[in-house]
């Protein structure tokens, strides 16, 4: 499965949410997907906002972190949906 493939990042996102994946792998995959997709800067800004919270949440236990893993996963899913909508308009 290619790292440039949206299904790859979705798979890593689900693994992270299930507790079987690592934050660092998820973050790297999303950053690579963003870079390789050649998206406008606003998508990178939005992604980095969420990924910085993912990084922060990985430093703390679930109880002590103010970021919900489920909420972060939902934010990444929404970002990915918006990217796919943009890409389908740009490359129908």
Flag whether 1 is in a domain. Answer: no
CB-CB contact of 7 with 77 (8 Å): no
Flag whether 50 is in a domain. Answer: yes
pLDDT of residue 68: 85
3-state secondary structure of 89: helix
Flag whether 85 is in a domain. Answer: yes
Flag whether 73 is in a domain. Answer: yes
Flag whether 75 is in a domain. Answer: yes
What is the rounded distance in angstroms from the CA atom of residue 58 to the CA atom of residue 39? 27
Number of domains in the chain: 1
Domain that holds residue 79: 6-90
Q: How confident is the model over 36-52, as pLDDT tens digits? A: 988 999 999 999 999 99
Whole-prediction pTM value?
0.85
Q: How confident is the model over 5-62, as pLDDT tens digits? A: 789 999 999 999 999 999 999 999 999 999 998 899 999 999 999 999 999 887 775 5
């Amino acid at each position: 499965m290619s790292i440039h493939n949206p299904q790859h990042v979705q798979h890593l996102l689900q693994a992270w949410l299930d507790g079987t994946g690592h934050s660092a792998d998820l973050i790297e995959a999303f950053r690579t997907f963003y870079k390789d997709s050649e998206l406008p800067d606003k998508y990178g800004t939005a992604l980095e906002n969420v990924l910085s919270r993912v990084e922060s949440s990985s430093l703390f236990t679930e109880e002590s972190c103010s970021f919900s893993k489920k909420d972060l996963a939902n934010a990444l899913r929404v970002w990915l949906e918006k990217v796919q909508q943009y890409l389908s308009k740009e490359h129908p």
